[in-house]
Structure 1
Amino acid sequence: MTTETVLDRTAEVDLTNCDREPIHQLGEIQPIGFLIVLTADWMISNASANTPDFLDVDERGLIGRPATDIMTKEAIHTLRNRLALLRGADALERVFRMALQDNGKCFDIALHMSGSRIILEAEPSSEHDYGDATGTVRGMVSRLEQAGDMPAFFNEGARQVRALTGFDRVMVYRFSADGSGEVVAESAKGGIGSFLGLHYPATDIPKQARELYTRSLLRVITDINAEPVPILPATDEYGKPVDLSLSVLRSVSRIHIEYLRNMGVGASMSISIVVEGKLWGLIACHHYSPRCPSFERRSVAELFAQMFAMRIEARERKLIVEYERRARDISDQLLGAVASDETLLNDPDWLSQILTSAIPADGVGVWINGNYAFSGLTPETGEFARIIQALNTTAAGRAYATDHVASLVPPREGKESHIAGLLAIPISRTPRDYVVLFRQEIIRSVRWAGDPHKPVEYGPNGPRLTPRQSFEEWKETVVGRSQPFTDSEMRVAETLRATLIEVVLRLSDEASAERKEATSRQELLIAELNHRVRNILSLIRGLIRQSKPADGTSIEDFVKVIDGRVHALARAHNQITDDHWGPAPVKNLLEAEAAAFLTTQKDRLLLDGPNVLLNPQAYSTLALVVHELVTNSVKYGSLSVETGEALVEWSVRDNGDLHFCWRERSGPEVAGPPQRKGFGTTIIEHSVPYDLGGTAKVAYAKEGVRADFVIPAKHVVQAGDIAGTRIYLPDAPHTPVEHASRLLHGKNVLLVEDSLIIALDAEDLLIRLGADRVNTEASALGAIAAIETEKPDVAILDINLGDHDSVPIANRLAELEVPFIFATGYGEQSQLPDHHKRRPVAQKPYTLASLSRRLSELLGVGEEA
C-alpha cells in the first residue's frame, strides 16, 4: 500500500489489505548508508541518490560507469572473492571495516545477488575494533544453556540481545498456529511499562512481511522520521523496480511507520527465529529515540538468534521425543493387552484410560458399525451422531483434530455442551469407524495489545485500522474452545490409529474364521438367495407403483415404460451374474443400453473412460439412471434427431470416487428444466445420492442436458462378501386383512431403508395408512441424528443397511421408548439379536395389508381404528 495505491472504499477493510503492499519493491533505502546495483560485468546500473554523500564521485555521475572508476582494484578483488562464497538464493556476505576508495574512509558492506544483478550496500564503519565476535556469541550461548526451563531460556535470550544492541526494550515474540503472537519474554529499561504476556493479532504482520522474515533474518529501522532515499533510476531496462527482499537498508512501509509511531517507537529491530524451516517467532527490539547499532553488532545479534533458534529446536525436540517414546510404549501395551484378552475392547473405561494416558483428554467415544460407547465427559448420543456424520466429510484414513467443535458441527439452539475440542482417530475406511477423544471447554482471558477488532479509518495511505495509538491492554474472554491438540499429539494419534486398526483387523479375521466354521455354505447360499429374491420383488413392485400413468396415458404406454425399466435391471443383472455376482464393467452397461435403444445408430452414444468395475448394488442403481437418461434423450433430447449425439465420460478420482458425466449435444434446444417431474426424473436426481451415498447434479443448458454423478469409492473397489445379520421371522397369517386408513393418523413415522425405490413405495403405503409425516433415512448415522432432532412416534427399521445393520437405531429407540418394527428381505433362517427377539418383523416386499397388520400389533389397536 504505497501512496499511489487506491482501494475501494466500499470494500470490507482490515489489515490484510497490507498484504498487497510490495514492501520488497519500495524503490528507497534508509539514509544510514548507500546502495549500488551492478551488472554481471560490474557496470553500475542503479544507485541510491545519496551515494555521492559517501563516495568521491566526479561530475560524470555513476550510472553506466564501470565499478573500477569509483572503487579501488583491491576493493573490487575482495568483493569478487566474497561473491564467490555465496551459497543459496538468499545468501548474504558481509565485509567489515573495508576501504572502497583511497580516501581512507572505511565501510561495513553487505553483498547479495538479485537475479543476475549484484546488490552492494555500505554503511560507514562505526566500530573500529569490535573484538572477537565468535567469542561474544559463544559466551552468550553459554549463558543461555544455564537456563533451567523455557521461560527462563526466553528471558535470558531477550536480556543478551538487549545487552548487545542497547535497545530500550527487547522482546521474544512467539507465533501461534493462527498467526497471532504473544510476548513470552521481555527485557526493558525501567519506567516504560511492560508488554509481557500481551497478544497481537495475526493482521499486525502482513503476509508478505512474514515471507521476508524467513528469507532475510534481520531487519532494522534506525529512525522512523528519517527521509528515505530513492534509488535511481527507479526501474531497470524492463521497467521493473529493484528487488530489495534481502536488502539490509531497505526503506520502510508507510503503514509500518505509522504503526510504530502510534506505539511511540523511534527505532526498531527484528530478528527472525526460524525453527525447522518455519517462522517460530521474532526477537523484537524497540527504542524510543533514533538508534543505529553498527552493522557488525547487528550481524552478531543475527548469529546469536540463529543459535537461539537451534537451542529452541533441540529443547522442544527432546520433550517431543520423550513424549512420543512414552506414547509408543502405551501403544505396545494396548496391542499386547488385547492380544491376550480381546474382551477388553468392550470396556470403554479401560480403553479410555489407555488412550488418555497417551493423549490427555476428558472423555472418549467409540463408534463402530453404528454402535457407540462412552467413557468420561462426552457429548449426548444425538450430538455424537452428528459429529460422526460431520467427520465423514473429512479426509479418510487420517486423524482429525479441532479445538472448536462448533466450527465442525454448529450447536443446536437451546443445547449447551461443555465439549469444545476433539481428536478423531479413524480405525476403518468402510464403514467409517472412529475412536474420538474429547476435551472440555476452557474459558480464559486473553490480553491483547489494543482492541484487535478495530474500525476502519481513511488516512493518507488509504484505508488503515485504528486505534493502534495507545496499545493499552485490552482483554477478551475466549469461550467455546479447548486446549488445542499439538503436532506431537497428532503424531501419537497416528501411531494409535495404526495399532487400533491392527487390533480390529486381527479380531475381524478371527471372527470371520469362526463364522465360516459355524455356518455351512448351503445355509449362506439359501439365505442370500432368499434375500435377493425378496429385494428384487420389492424393487419391481416399487417400480410399478411409482410409474403409475398420468391422466390420458394408454395402458400400452404404461406397459412400455415398465417394460423398459425392468429390462434395464435385467440387463444389469445378467452382467452381474455373468461375473459371479461380483463387480461388473461400467462400459458393458452402457453398450447394452445403446444396443437396446439405438440398434442401428449405436455410434451416436460416445463412450470415453477407463475400465472401471462397480459392485452389484451400484451397478443396478446406475443401470436405472442410464436407462432414464437414454429414454429421455431418445424422446426429447439429442438422440431424438439424426444429428444429435450423447457423450458419456467417466474417470476415477484420486480418492477412488467414480465421476460419471452424461452430456448431450447437437440436439433440439433445451427450454429449461421439465415443468413436471415424474418418477424418471426422481430416479436420475436421487438414486445415486440415496442408494449409494454419492452426488447427482443435472443441468438443463440450452445446448443440451448435462448430468454429473459421483459414486463413492466403496462401490468402485471390490469388497468381500458380507453376510447380513440373520433374524428369525415368525410365520405371518395368510388370511387377507383390510388396512386401517387412520391407523397412523397424526403420527410422525421414521422409515429406515437403504433402497430409494423401496423407500418411496413404503412411504406411499404409510401415507395411505394415515401417517402425518414420514421421515426417511438410509443409514444408522442419519437415523440416530434424526431421532435426536425430532423424536418419532413410530419407526420401521430395515435390518440390513448394506455394510451395517440397524441394531444401534433399535437400541436408541428402545431407550426413548419409541415403538418400532423390523423389516427384512432375508428368510426364516435369519435371527434377531437376543434383546430384540420379541420385536415384530415385517417381511419385504411391503404390502398395505402386512404393514397394517404389524403396525396394529405394535400399537395395540384394532385395524379398523
Structure 2
Amino acid sequence: MNFSGPSSDELDLSNCDREPIHILGRIQTFGYLVAMSTDWIIQHISANIGEVFGRGPDDLLGAPLAEILPSSALHAIRGKLQLLSPNDGSERVFGVDLFEDGRRFDIAIHMSDVSIVVEIEVSNVDANGVGNPGSLIKSMIARIQRCETMDGVYRECVRQLRAVTGFDRVMLYRFNDNGAGSVVAEALNRGIEPFMGLSYPATDIPRQARRLYLKNRIRIIADINSQDVDIVPPTNPNGAPLDLSLSVTRAVSPIHVEYLKNMGVGASFSISIVIDDKLWGLFALHHYAPRQLSMETRSTMELFGEMVSLVIEGRLAKEMRKVEEEARDLHDRVVGRLVATSPTMEELVDFADDFRELIPCDGFAVWAKDVVRTVGRCPFPDDMPGIARFLNRAAASRVYATEQLSAVYPKAQEFPDRAAGLLAIPISRSPRDYLIFFRREIIETVTWAGRPDEKPVEYGPNGPRLTPRKSFEAWQETVRDKSAPWSISDLKAAEALRVSILEVLLRFNEESERQQQRATQNQELLIAELNHRVRNILSLMRALVVQSRAGAKTADEFAAIIGGRIQALARAHDQITNDHYQPQSLGSIIQTEIEAYIGHKVSRVRLDGPPILVEARAFSTLALVFHEMVTNSAKYGALSDSRGRIEVSWRIDENECCEILWRESDGPPVQSPTRRGFGSTIIERSIPHDLGGEVTVDYHLAGVRARFLLPPQVFWLDETPEAAAPENPAKESSQVNAMTAEIAAPMSLSGKSGLIVEDNMIISLDAEQMLLDNGAARVLTATNVAEARRIVESEAVDVALLDVNLGSETSFALVPLLDEKNIPFVFVTGYGEKVELPQSANDGVEAIKKPFATDQLIAALERALARRPD
C-alpha cells in the first residue's frame, strides 16, 4: 500500500484492511471475463478476450452476447443462471464446446449486483485431473472419518489434499479468537522447511480478505510472477468498478503478491473452512513454481472443504456437548446443595470447592458487603477493594472475564503470580457483590513465522510504504501477564451459576429472612420441581421440533408451526406458575396441555363435559396433573404410536363432586411402571393432598384408565348464557386446517393438474414448487419426450410447461399430441429471443426465458389456460 502523508513510525500494515481487493479491476492471465447487463449486453470484458473470441474489446463492448456465442452456449449459461441468487455463489459447467469448434472450456457464472459475470478457462489445464469427483470426495471423506482424534483428522486432510493437487506444501491454518492463527497440520515435499506449529499474526490476513474467504470459499493464484489482465472499461457509466468478490479468476492484491514472493512461493491455492458462518481456518497450499488447477479440480476441492467443515464441526460439537453435559450435572449438584442449605452471600465461600470444580481456577473469593473472603491463590485483601471498584465499572448483571487483567487494570501488574486472569460473577445489584475466580500467570513461548512487527519501510513515488516482512524464520516471543484463557464452557457455567444464585438461592434467602421455617419447606419443593420441569421442557422442545417437521411443507410453514406450539407451551407454563390468575374452565386447562405437547396428534383426543370453572387455588394443581398425563401418554401410552386415542370426560356426580375420567385406547400394550418418579407422585398425590380429592390410576393392558374426583369447594358450574361445552381439539384442529388451506391456496391454478418437461432436476423441482404454491392440485414431471408421451396418454393433464432443449432432443415433438388432447402449453427456453417455435404450434403459444420468476411463469400458464377452447 502507498502512503503520502504520515511518517514511517505512523505506518501500520493494518491499513491494508482498507485496500479494496474485491474491485482491483484485473483478473489473472489464465482466465477470460465477460460481464453483461441483465438483457445480455456486454458491459465489461477482459483485455485478453481476443485469445478465445477472436475479436477485441472494442468490437465486443456494447454488443449483445447472442451475436457472439452460439445458441447452445447461451442455453447452457441461462440454465445455470436459473439456479443462482444475486451475490450468492457461482455456478460452473465444465468441458463446454463454447464456440462449437471443438475447443473445450470451463465456465463460471455469477451475479455481481445487476451484472451477469461469465468467466472462461481452457479445460483440463492440469494433466492429472480428478477423474470422478463424487467418488474421489467419498473416498477422501471416508478416510478422514476413520480418524479417531482431531489431530488425526487434520493430518489426513492435508495429506490427501497434497496427493490430489500435487502442491509442494499443504498446511491447515487454524484461527484463534484474536484473529492470529497457527499451523496445526502440514504435508510437504522433502527438503522444504516445515512450518508446523508456527503462528502468524492477524495482520497477515486483512479483514476484507477474511470476508472474501467467507463469500468465495476457494482462491487460486496460478503464477505469482504473471502480469494481471485489465478489465475494460475499468468502471461502468456510473463510475463504479465491477465487484469481483465471487470471481474465480480475480487478480491478487500487490501486497499479498509481495508477501508470497518473500516466502519464495510461486503459486498458491486456499480452501476456506467455515464453521457456524465463521472463518474457522484455511487449507493453504503452496507451490514453488507456477501451478494451475483446472476449474473442475478446484470445484471438487471446494466441495471437499465444505465436507471437511461439516466433519470438523460435528467433532467439535460432540466434544462441546460432552463438556456441557458434565458441567450441567455438576451445576445441578452444586445448586442442589445451595438450595438445601440456603447460605447467606457471606457463607458462599464455604462452597469454594464446588465452585472451583465447576470453573477451574487457582483462587476463589467472595466479595459481599465490602468484605472479602478468599480460598487459594488470590490477591491480598488490601488489593480487593480496588478490584471491586474496577468491576463496578463493568456492565451490570453480566459475567466479566479477562485473561490479562493488567491490560485493563494496570495495578494488576503488581500481582500477576496471584491473579493474571479474572472471572467475576455479580450476585447482587446494590451494593454489587461478586464471586471472583482468579488464575495465575502462565509464561508462554509463542513461535512466530518471522517477527510479526518486522515490516520494512520503502519509499515510492507516493512517499513511504510499509511492506510485508521479508523473513519467515522461526522467532520466539515470551508472553507474560496472561493466564490460561477462560473457555466458552467456563463462561456458560458462570452464567448458569449467576442465574441460579440470583433467581433461586437469593430469592429463597430473602424469603427466609421473613419466614424462615416456611422458606425451608418451599426451597425443598421448588428445587425438586425445578429440576423435573427443566428436564421435561428440554425434552419437550426437542419433541416439538421433530414432530412439527413432518407436517411442514415449507420453511415458513415450519416456523409458523413451531412458533404456535411454543406459544401454547408458554401459556401452559404461565397457567402453572402465575399467582394472580383468574378462574378458568376445566376444559381449557386440559386442552391447553394437550395442544402444547402433542401438536398434530390433537385430533386423537376427545373432550366432553359440562362448562365447569375451576377455582384459583386448584388451577395450577390440575394443570400440572394433566401435563403429566399428556406427557406420559405421549411417551408410553396411546399417543406414543400412530393409532392410539384418548377420551377425557367429566360430570357432576350424585355427591356434587366433579368426576373426571381419562381413558386411553388403541395404543401399545401398557405395563405398570416399575418405579415411582416425580411425575407419578404429582398425578397420584397432588389432588388428594392439595384439594382434598381422590385419584385412581389403573394400568390396563389395553390402555391407561384414570379417575379424578374434585370436591365441590374447588369448582362450580358455569351457568352463564355464553358458556358452552368445551371445544373439541379434534374439531378445532380440522376447522383451523380447513381455514388455513382456504386462505393459503391461491385461485390461479386451483385444482389444476400440470406437466413439467425439463431435463434439469433442480429447475424442474423449482418450477414444480411454483405451481404447487399457486394452487395446482398435482404436478407431474418428465425429463424426455418419451416419458412425457406416456404421461399425457395415461394421465389427466390440464396444462404443460415444456423446456425447448432437452439435451439430445427438443420438446417440439410433443406439440401435436398436446393439441390432440386439447392441453394448452407454454415453452421455456434458454435461447433468449431467437428461439424459433415449430410451425405446428398455434400463434398464441408463448415462450418464456430462463431465468423466470414465479409471477412470470404463473401468468403465462394462466394465459394458456384462458386460450384453451371449451
**Shorter-chain TM-score: which interval?**
0.5 to 0.7
Partners of 2:115 and 2:415 in 1: CA distance = 64
Give the CA deviation at 1:382: 2.3
Give the CA deviation at 1:350: 4.7
Report the counterpart of residue 257 of structure 1 in structure 2.
Answer: 257
Q: How does 1:655-674 map to 2 (within 5 A)?
A: none
Deviates more, 1:123-132 or 1:31-40: 123-132
Report the counterpart of residue 296 of structure 2 in structure 1.
Answer: 296
Residue 80 and residue 364 in structure 1: after superposition, are their counterparts in 2 closer, same or farther (change >3 A)? same
Report the counterpart of residue 92 of structure 2 in structure 1.
Answer: 94
Report the counterpart of residue 202 of structure 1 in structure 2.
Answer: 202
Give the CA deviation at 1:258: 0.7
Q: Percent identity?
A: 43
Give the CA deviation at 1:512: 3.4
AA of the residue aligned to 1:480: D
Give the CA deviation at 1:417: 3.8
Report the counterpart of residue 704 of structure 1 in structure 2.
Answer: none
Matched, 1:153 2:130: no
Give the CA deviation at 1:57: 2.7
Q: How does 1:9-24 map to 2 (within 5 A)?
A: 9=7, 12-24=10-22
Does the 8 A contact of 2:27 with 2:251 survive in 1?
Answer: yes
SS at 1:428's partner residue? coil
Residue 473 and residue 413 in structure 1: after superposition, are their counterparts in 2 closer, same or farther (change >3 A)? closer
Report the counterpart of residue 848 of structure 2 in structure 1.
Answer: none
AA of the residue aligned to 2:228: P
Give the CA deviation at 1:493: 1.4
Partners of 1:116 and 1:166 in 2: CA distance = 38
**Deviation per residue, 1:434-493 (Å, 9 max, x gap):** 111111111010000111122540244865546722300000000100111122321221
Does the 8 A contact of 2:17 with 2:208 survive in 1?
Answer: yes
Residue 464 and residue 259 in structure 1: after superposition, are their counterparts in 2 closer, same or farther (change >3 A)? farther
Unaligned runs of 5+ in 1: 518-865
**Deviation per residue, 1:348-396 (Å, 9 max, x gap):** 6652221222222112111122222111111111222211111111111
- Which of 490, 512, 515 is 2:514 aligned to? 512
Does the 8 A contact of 1:454 with 1:466 survive in 2?
Answer: no
Does the 8 A contact of 2:416 with 2:440 survive in 1?
Answer: no
Give the CA deviation at 1:505: 2.1
SS at 1:411's partner residue? helix
Report the counterpart of residue 484 of structure 1 in structure 2.
Answer: 485
Does the 8 A contact of 1:90 with 1:216 survive in 2?
Answer: no
Residue 379 and residue 412 in structure 1: after superposition, are their counterparts in 2 closer, same or farther (change >3 A)? closer
AA of the residue aligned to 1:84: Q
Give the CA deviation at 1:347: 5.6
Report the counterpart of residue 113 of structure 1 in structure 2.
Answer: 111
Does the 8 A contact of 1:33 with 1:121 survive in 2?
Answer: yes
Partners of 2:308 and 2:139 in 1: CA distance = 13
Give the CA deviation at 1:182: 0.5
Report the counterpart of residue 34 of structure 1 in structure 2.
Answer: 32
SS at 1:54's partner residue? helix
SS at 1:111's partner residue? strand
AA of the residue aligned to 2:284: A
- Give TM-score scaled by structure 2 length: 0.57
Q: RMSD in angstroms over aligned alpha carbons?
A: 2.2
Residue 58 and residue 356 in structure 1: after superposition, are their counterparts in 2 closer, same or farther (change >3 A)? closer
AA of the residue aligned to 1:418: R
Report the counterpart of residue 217 of structure 2 in structure 1.
Answer: 217
Give the CA deviation at 1:236: 0.3
Partners of 1:346 and 1:60 in 2: CA distance = 83
Report the counterpart of residue 284 of structure 1 in structure 2.
Answer: 284
Q: How does 1:126-205 map to 2 (within 5 A)?
A: 126=124, 130-205=130-205
**Deviation per residue, 1:167-211 (Å, 9 max, x gap):** 100101011111111111111111101001101111111111111
Instruction: Work out which of the two has the higher radius of gyration on C-alpha atoms and give 1 or 2.
Output: 1
Give the CA deviation at 1:412: 6.4
Partners of 2:57 and 2:482 in 1: CA distance = 68
Report the counterpart of residue 499 of structure 1 in structure 2.
Answer: 500
AA of the residue aligned to 1:125: S
Residue 404 and residue 412 in structure 1: after superposition, are their counterparts in 2 closer, same or farther (change >3 A)? closer
Give the CA deviation at 1:123: 0.6
Residue 217 and residue 455 in structure 1: after superposition, are their counterparts in 2 closer, same or farther (change >3 A)? closer
**Deviation per residue, 1:813-848 (Å, 9 max, x gap):** xxxxxxxxxxxxxxxxxxxxxxxxxxxxxxxxxxxx
SS at 1:219's partner residue? strand
Give the CA deviation at 1:90: 2.2
**Deviation per residue, 1:139-178 (Å, 9 max, x gap):** 1111111111111111111112111211100101011111
Partners of 1:506 and 1:216 in 2: CA distance = 55
Q: How does 1:623-642 map to 2 (within 5 A)?
A: none
Does the 8 A contact of 2:412 with 2:419 survive in 1?
Answer: no
Report the counterpart of residue 469 of structure 1 in structure 2.
Answer: 470
Report the counterpart of residue 819 of structure 2 in structure 1.
Answer: none
AA of the residue aligned to 2:304: F
Report the counterpart of residue 123 of structure 1 in structure 2.
Answer: 121
Q: How does 1:38-437 map to 2 (within 5 A)?
A: 38-57=36-55, 61-87=59-85, 89-126=87-124, 130-343=130-343, 350-411=350-411, 417-437=417-437
Partners of 2:153 and 2:465 in 1: CA distance = 37
Partners of 1:415 and 1:335 in 2: CA distance = 32
Does the 8 A contact of 2:370 with 2:385 survive in 1?
Answer: no
Q: How does 1:424-573 map to 2 (within 5 A)?
A: 424-460=424-460, 463-465=464-466, 468-501=469-502, 502-513=504-515
Does the 8 A contact of 1:422 with 1:437 survive in 2?
Answer: yes
Give the CA deviation at 1:272: 1.0
For these two proteins, the number of residue pairs brought into alignment is 515
AA of the residue aligned to 1:475: Q
Partners of 2:465 and 2:190 in 1: CA distance = 32
Does the 8 A contact of 1:418 with 1:441 survive in 2?
Answer: yes
AA of the residue aligned to 2:297: R
SS at 1:64's partner residue? coil
Residue 390 and residue 58 in structure 1: after superposition, are their counterparts in 2 closer, same or farther (change >3 A)? closer
Partners of 2:333 and 2:414 in 1: CA distance = 42
- Give TM-score scaled by structure 1 length: 0.57
AA of the residue aligned to 1:104: G
Which stretches of structure 1, 4 residues or more, deviate above 6 A after TM superposition?
Answer: none
Give the CA deviation at 1:61: 1.6
Does the 8 A contact of 1:365 with 1:373 survive in 2?
Answer: yes
Does the 8 A contact of 1:183 with 1:195 survive in 2?
Answer: yes
**Deviation per residue, 1:20-61 (Å, 9 max, x gap):** 211111111000010000110111111000011122337962
Partners of 1:177 and 1:416 in 2: CA distance = 23
Residue 58 and residue 261 in structure 1: after superposition, are their counterparts in 2 closer, same or farther (change >3 A)? closer
Does the 8 A contact of 1:352 with 1:363 survive in 2?
Answer: no
Residue 459 and residue 289 in structure 1: after superposition, are their counterparts in 2 closer, same or farther (change >3 A)? farther
Partners of 1:391 and 1:59 in 2: CA distance = 65
**Deviation per residue, 1:299-322 (Å, 9 max, x gap):** 111111111111111111111111
Residue 60 and residue 403 in structure 1: after superposition, are their counterparts in 2 closer, same or farther (change >3 A)? closer
Deviates more, 1:52-61 or 1:8-17: 52-61
Residue 229 and residue 408 in structure 1: after superposition, are their counterparts in 2 closer, same or farther (change >3 A)? same
Q: How does 1:553-632 map to 2 (within 5 A)?
A: none
Give the CA deviation at 1:131: 2.8
Partners of 1:174 and 1:464 in 2: CA distance = 29
SS at 1:98's partner residue? strand
Does the 8 A contact of 2:412 with 2:420 survive in 1?
Answer: no
Give the CA deviation at 1:111: 0.7
Report the counterpart of residue 569 of structure 2 in structure 1.
Answer: none
AA of the residue aligned to 1:35: L
Does the 8 A contact of 1:180 with 1:199 survive in 2?
Answer: yes
AA of the residue aligned to 1:272: S
Partners of 1:286 and 1:235 in 2: CA distance = 33
